[in-house]
Amino acid sequence: MSEPRSADRLATLAAALDAPVGSLAAVRAPGRVNLIGEHVDYNDGVVLPMAIDRDTLVAWRARPDGRTTARSLELPGLVECSARGVTTGPTWGAFVPAAARAAVGLGAVPVALDLAITSTVPAGGGLSSSAALGVALVLAHCIAGGIDPDRRALALAARAVEVAATGVPVGTMDQLASALGVADHALRIDCRDLGVEPVAIPDGLAVLVVHSGIERTLAGSEYAERRDACEAAARRLDLPALRDARTEQVADDPFARHIVAEIARVDAFVAALRTGDHLALGRIMLEGHASLRDDFGVSLPEIDALVDALVAAGAYGARITGAGFGGCVVAIGDPDGIDAIAASATDRYATGTGRSPRSFVVRAASGAAPY
C-alpha cells in the first residue's frame, strides 16, 4: 500500500531536482529501533526490532542519457554515475550504483534517474539510517525499472548494497525491519530462516529514543571485530553459529555468553509484551544493557549514565540500541508520562556529561512502500 504523500516533503525534493512535483515518483523506507536482541542477527539468532515513523524518502524522474545523479538534502555533494557504474561524488554515493545493480538483479530494467533524497532518521544514532537509505534506493530503482519486489528479497538485496558500499559485514535485521515493518507492531525476526512474526505493541506502552549526542559509525567501530570473535567462538565449539550454543558451553567467553543470553531475552520480552507485563519488559531491557556493557563491551560511560537517568526519571527500562559505541538509547514507559521522563532524563544527562541529547517518541510504522 502506498503511503500518504506529504506535499511539503515532495515539494522540497522537487525543488532540489528543479522539477514539478507531479513529474516525480517516490518511495519511503523507515529506520528502525531494536527493542531487544543486539548483535545476535549475524549469529543466526532472533531479534525484536520495530520500524519507526522516521524514514528516508527518495524521489526521482527518468533521464534519457544513461547517467544517474543523486543529491541529498542532508548530506553533502552530488553523486554522478555512468552507465558502467563509475561514480563521482561523496562517499555515501557508493550506495547509488550498488542499488541500481541490486535492482537489476531482482529483475528490474536498468534505468537512468535523477534522484533526490531526504531523511528524518538521525545519522550515526543506531537507528539504521544506512539501511533505510539502501532499502529506499533499491526500491526506487526497482519501481522505476518496472517491478515491485518481494519485500524479503528487497531486504536481502539492500543488505548486499550496504556491505558493498561501506565494507562493513552487517547482518540482516535492519533491512528486514525496514522492508517488512508493520504499523503498531514489533517484528520477531528469525535471522536463520528469515521468518518474521509481528508482535503487537500494547497501547499502554510508549517507546522513547534518546540520542546520546555521541555519533558513531560502524566502519570506525569495533563491530567487525565483535563479529569475527563470535564466528571464531562458534568454530571452536564446532557449531554453525552461536545460536546453537548452550549456556554452559560459553560460560567462560564473555562475547559468546552475551549472544546466548540475549537470544533468550528476546523470547522472554515477546512473552512479556503479550501479557502486558511492563515491569518484566523493563527488567529484561536493563539485563540486556548490562550484558552489552559488561560482557560485550560496546557501551560507553555516557551511555550508561543516560540509561540510569531514564530509569531514575520513571522509565520501566532502557538500553543501548544499535551496534553500540555511541548513538541512541531506547526506553519504554507510560504514554502519559513519557514526555516528562524524556525532559527529566535529558536534563540530568546533559548536566552530568556536557553532551547535547535529543529525544523523540517513536511509533511502530509500516515497511518500505511507494509514497
Q: Which residues are catalytic?
A: 174
Q: Report which residue type is found at 176.
A: L
The span from the CA of 159 to the CA of 178, in Å, is 11
Residue 301: helix, strand or coil by DSSP? helix
The span from the CA of 261 to the CA of 282, in Å, is 16
The secondary structure of 118-182, three-state, reads: EECCCCCCCCCHHHHHHHHHHHHHHHHCCCCCCHHHHHHHHHHHHHHHHCCCCCCHHHHHHHHCC
The span from the CA of 173 to the CA of 181, in Å, is 11
Residue 213: helix, strand or coil by DSSP? coil
- Element of type H or E holding 86: none
Helix axes 173-180, 129-144, angle to 10 degrees: 50
